Amino acid sequence: MIYHRSVLLSESTEGLAIQPDGIYVDATFGGGGHSREILNHLSTGKLIAFDQDAEALENRIDHPNLIIVHSNFRHIKNFLRLYNVLPVNGILADLGISSYQIDSGDRGFSTRFEGKLDMRMDQRQKLHAGLIVNDYPEERLRSIFREYGEVDHKGKAAALIVSARKQNPIKTTTDLADLLKPLASRGKEHKYLAQVFQALRIEVNQELDALKEFLMQSVDLLVPGGRLVVISYHSLEDKLVKNFFRSGNWEGEVKKDFYGNVLAPLRVVNRKPVTPGEEEVKENPRARSARLRIAQKR
């Protein structure tokens, strides 16, 4: 299964500053590309890999130094305690939706293929995109489109959905795309629908809340000097990561003690995010929006 081409592979694993006997976490296993690279640097060390998508676990690597956990990374602390592997030397999270998920129409992530309005990363959860589109009040739909997708004509989009679902349920990605496509500027239909789908996906999977919980827990899990490496793909994620790395809060407000020392729990390693080079973008166009940030626990 070609699940996911790992983005910024060498840059992210180098950012971890891997020690052969260290303990590391791959918070988003996916196709296992980052995990394989981390394992290549370990001798007696351990790697704990998380993924909430059961299909990702089909890419399981048979390696004595690897533990795979079927869970959202928002539960990272509980599982690391369970496996008695605290503290850890480094944590890596690649927040991108995988190429496999996008290209599998039946998962409902893609604007190009027809499938059920699903969009669940974890098929065990009850909330899915169909429930949001067909049950959420108009005002809440408008809010989701504004906050999570920066969607143009968000009010019209929400009103169209509410009006259409009174006649018939909106069941498929094609139903939704056909309904909203007229709101897009000519030639920008794909971008518009991608923003709508992103907003719904974030709401379905509570992605920003999960990211906040993950970042907060990660600080406590790292040894002093341990590294936290995060690859994000849209401005909402990247802003949260940037602000937290810089200040330890979501607003990015740096606080100092009486002597002027920064009180943030992390030290930013790379002031500017690392981005893919031309060659990587040429080979994998979906890497274009990737932003890699590295921080070290004080």
Which pLDDT tens digit goes with each residue over 119-155? 999 999 999 999 999 999 999 999 999 999 999 999 9
Tell me the per-residue pLDDT of 200-254, one tens digit each, with 9 for 90 and over: 999 999 999 999 999 999 999 999 999 999 999 999 999 999 999 999 999 999 9
Instruction: Identify which has the larger pLDDT, 14 or 96.
Output: 14
Confidence of residue 255 (pLDDT cuts 50, 70, 90): very high
E-strand stretches of the chain? 23-26, 46-50, 66-69, 88-94, 222-232, 266-268, 291-297
Q: What is the value of pTM for the model shown?
A: 0.95
Q: Which residue has the higher pLDDT, 100 or 37?
A: 37
The pLDDT value given to residue 4: 53
159, with CB counted inside 10 A (0-12, 13-18, 19+), is middle
Domains detected in the chain: 9-99+207-297 (3.40.50.150), 104-205 (1.10.150.170)
List, for residues 2-39, the tens digit of each pLDDT value.
Answer: 455 799 999 999 999 999 999 999 999 999 999 999 99
Band of residue 262 on the pLDDT scale cut at 50, 70, 90:
confident
Least confident of 36-45, 69-78, 259-268: 259-268
* pLDDT interval class at 96 (50, 70, 90): confident
Rounded to whole angstroms, the Cα distance separating 295 from 271 reads: 10
Mean pLDDT calculated for residue range 181-201 = 96
* pLDDT reported for residue 41: 98
The mean per-residue pLDDT over the stretch 67-96 comes to: 97
Any residues with CB less than 8 A from the CB of 260 and at least 6 apart, and which? none
88 has a pLDDT exceeding 60: yes
Q: Strand 23-26 vs strand 66-69: parallel, antiparallel, or unpaired? A: unpaired
In angstroms, the CA 157 to CA 115 distance is: 20
Q: Answer whether residue 104 shows pLDDT above 90.
A: no
Residue 274 forms beta bridges with which residues? 292
Share of the chain above pLDDT 90, in %: 90
pLDDT at 106: 83
Mean of pLDDT over the chain: 95
Q: What does the pLDDT read at residue 189?
A: 96
Model confidence pLDDT, tens digit, residues 224-235? 999 999 999 999
Helix (H, G, I), strand (E, B) or coil at 89: strand
pLDDT at 98 over 80: no
Token reading at 95: 């927040």
Would you state the pLDDT for residue 34? Answer: 97
Length, in residues, of the chain: 298
